[in-house]
Amino acid sequence: MPKHKKKSDLPSKICIQCDRPFAWRKKWANNWAEVNYCSERCRNDYKKRKQNTKQDD
């Protein structure tokens, strides 16, 4: 019996920055409910965009 799951069997979410789907990763096992971004780049870009909109107001 294989101990690995297929990637298609893993849960997935949509990144709130780039709107692309991303799959569960082992490093996110403890906080999967809190993960919103597919990568550090998306997380940083979202924060920069949010700061820029505050400065424009």
Cα 12–Cα 34–Cα 52 angle in degrees, nearest 5: 100
Walk along the chain (57 residues) and give the pLDDT tens digit of each residue: 667 778 788 899 999 999 999 999 999 999 999 999 999 999 999 988 888 887 766
What's the pLDDT at 19? 96
Residue 4 lies in a domain: no
Residue 30 lies in a domain: no
Residue 7 lies in a domain: no
Residue 55 lies in a domain: yes
Residue 3 lies in a domain: no
The values of phi and psi at residue 22, to 5°, are -140, 150
The values of phi and psi at residue 52, to 5°, are -65, -35
What's the pLDDT at 2? 66
Residue 6 lies in a domain: no
Overall number of domains in the chain: 1
What's the pLDDT at 4? 78
Residue 44 lies in a domain: yes
Enclosing domain of residue 17: 12-23+36-57
Q: In the 3-class helix/strand/coil scheme, how is the chain assigned residue by residue?
A: CCCCCCHHHCCEEECCCCCCEEECCHHHCCCHHHCCCCCHHHHHHHHHHHHHHHHHC
